[in-house]
C-alpha cells in the first residue's frame, strides 16, 4: 500500500503540470479583425450640436506589429448620410503592437438627428490582417433626444387642426411664455369669433414628460346663442419640434358643453 501511495504522488504532479500547460496556452495562429459588437445605439441631445461615439474593433490576438485598420460606410444599408448626418473622425486607426482593441470616432450631428432612429452600417478591413468570419459589419442606431425645455414655446405658430373651428388651417397664432416657468399662453388675438380677443388666452401647463393641461384665463365671449365658454383640456407637447397637440379640448357654458375637440399647432 505504501508503494502505491508514493507512486501516486508523481503521477498527480504530472496531471497538474499537464493542466497548467493547457491553461497557459496562447493562440499563436493567424490574426483576424472584427468589430467588437454587431450593433450599438446612441442619442444626440437637442442643443448640443453633436455627439462623439466610439465604434470598437478587436483582433483575435495581440498585434505583433503596428497594424492599420480601416472603417467604411455601407451606404446601401444606411439611412444616415456621411458628411450630412455624421462624420467619421478617423477612417484609419493604427493598432499598436501588443494591443488587440481599438476604436473609430464617429461624430453624430444634431442637425441630422431625428426623433425616429437613423442607422449607419459600417464595414471593417485591414491591409495586413484578415477579416474574421463574424462581426464584419456594425450598425449604429441613433436618434435625437429632447429633454424638458420650455424655451422654444414662444413666437408665431400655425394652426394644423381646429375641430372647434375658430381657426382655419394655416391661420397664425401668437404664443407667449409664462407666467410660470413651465407655462405658456396661446393668445386669442387672431380669433375672429370672440369679443374679448385681446384679454383672453389659453394657459398651458407643461409636465416634464410632455403632457399638458389647458385652461382659459377667462371665458371666451362668443355672443349670440353660444354665449360665454370656459375652455379646458389636455394633450401633449413635443420638445424636439415644439409642436402642440391639444387632443381633448372642452368648451363649456350656459349653452352646453362640447368636448373632445382637437387643436394642433406647429411652429411657423
pLDDT of the chain along its 268 residues, tens only?
Answer: 344 444 444 444 444 444 444 555 555 668 999 999 999 999 999 999 999 999 999 999 999 899 999 999 999 999 999 999 999 999 999 999 999 999 999 999 999 999 999 999 999 999 999 999 999 999 999 999 999 999 999 999 999 999 999 999 999 999 999 999 999 999 999 999 999 999 999 999 999 999 999 999 999 999 999 999 999 999 999 999 999 999 999 999 999 999 999 999 999 9
pLDDT of residue 13: 46
Residues 140 and 154 in one domain: no
Residues 79 and 166 in one domain: no
Residues 129 and 57 in one domain: yes
Specify the DSSP element, H or E, that contains 220. Answer: strand 220-221
Angle at 252 between CA 249 and CA 254, to 5 degrees: 165
Task: Give the Cα separation of 217 and 267 in Å (integer).
Answer: 23
Write the CATH number for 54.
2.60.40.1740
Residues 133 and 162 in one domain: no
Are 192 and 217 contacting, i.e. CB atoms less than 8 angstroms apart?
Answer: no
Angle at 122 between CA 50 and CA 61, to 5 degrees: 110
DSSP 3-state assignment of 27? coil
Residues 141 and 37 in one domain: yes
Residues 138 and 175 in one domain: no
Residues 194 and 244 in one domain: yes
Among residues 103, 131, 123, which one has the least CA distance to residue 38? 123
pLDDT of residue 16: 46
Domain assignment of residue 10, yes or no: no
pLDDT of residue 11: 47
pLDDT of residue 21: 47
Task: Give the Cα separation of 163 and 176 in Å (integer).
Answer: 23
Are 251 and 231 contacting, i.e. CB atoms less than 8 angstroms apart?
Answer: yes
Domain assignment of residue 136, yes or no: yes
Write the CATH number for 243.
2.40.128
Residues 119 and 165 in one domain: no
**What are the backbone dihedrals phi and psi of residue 209, each rounded to the nearest 5 degrees, phi first?**
-85, 0
Domain that holds residue 88: 33-145
Residues 171 and 253 in one domain: yes
Domain assignment of residue 13, yes or no: no
Number of domains in the chain: 2
- Which of 104, 122, 145 finishes a domain? 145
- Which of 118, 145, 172 finishes a domain? 145
Residues 58 and 95 in one domain: yes
CA-to-CA separations, 135 to 58, 61, 124, 128, 148, in angstroms, rounded: 10, 16, 9, 18, 37
- Which of 89, 115, 145 finishes a domain? 145
Residues 60 and 109 in one domain: yes
Task: Give the Cα separation of 176 and 266 in Å (integer).
Answer: 14
Q: How many CB atoms lie within 10 A of CB 122?
A: 21
pLDDT of residue 91: 98
Share of the chain residues as helix, strand and coil, in percent rounded to the nearest 5? 10, 50, 40
Q: Judging by DSSP bridges, how do beta strands 39-45 and 137-145 pair with one another? A: parallel
pTM value is 0.77
DSSP string across 52-120: EEEEEEEESS--SS-EEEEEEE-GGG-SS-BTTTEEES-SEEEEPTT--EEEEEEEEEGGG--SS-EEE
Amino acid at each position: 500500500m505504501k508503494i502505491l501511495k508514493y507512486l501516486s504522488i508523481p503521477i498527480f504532479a504530472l496531471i497538474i503540470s499537464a493542466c497548467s500547460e493547457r491553461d497557459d496556452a496562447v493562440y499563436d495562429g493567424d490574426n483576424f479583425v472584427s468589430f467588437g459588437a454587431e450593433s450599438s445605439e446612441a442619442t444626440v441631445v437637442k442643443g448640443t450640436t453633436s455627439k462623439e461615439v466610439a465604434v470598437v474593433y478587436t483582433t483575435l490576438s495581440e498585434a505583433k506589429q503596428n497594424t492599420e485598420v480601416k472603417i467604411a460606410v455601407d451606404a446601401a444599408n444606411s439611412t444616415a448620410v456621411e458628411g450630412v448626418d455624421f462624420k467619421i473622425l478617423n477612417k484609419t486607426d493604427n493598432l499598436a503592437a501588443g494591443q488587440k482593441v481599438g476604436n473609430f470616432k464617429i461624430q453624430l450631428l444634431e442637425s441630422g438627428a431625428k426623433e425616429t432612429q437613423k442607422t449607419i452600417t459600417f464595414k471593417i478591413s485591414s491591409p495586413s490582417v484578415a477579416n474574421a468570419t463574424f462581426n464584419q459589419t456594425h450598425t449604429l442606431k441613433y436618434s435625437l433626444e429632447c429633454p424638458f425645455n420650455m424655451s422654444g414655446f414662444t413666437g408665431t405658430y400655425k394652426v394644423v387642426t381646429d375641430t372647434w373651428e375658430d381657426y382655419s388651417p394655416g391661420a397664425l397664432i401668437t404664443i407667449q411664455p409664462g407666467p410660470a416657468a413651465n407655462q405658456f399662453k396661446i393668445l386669442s388675438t387672431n380669433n375672429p369669433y370672440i369679443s374679448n380677443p385681446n384679454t383672453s388666452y389659453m394657459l398651458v401647463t407643461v409636465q416634464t414628460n410632455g403632457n399638458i393641461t389647458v385652461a382659459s384665463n377667462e371665458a371666451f365671449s362668443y355672443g349670440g346663442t353660444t354665449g360665454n365658454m370656459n375652455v379646458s383640456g389636455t394633450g401633449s407637447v413635443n420638445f424636439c419640434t415644439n409642436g402642440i397637440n391639444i387632443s381633448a379640448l372642452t368648451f363649456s357654458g350656459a349653452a352646453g358643453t362640447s368636448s373632445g375637440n382637437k387643436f394642433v399647432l406647429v411652429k411657423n
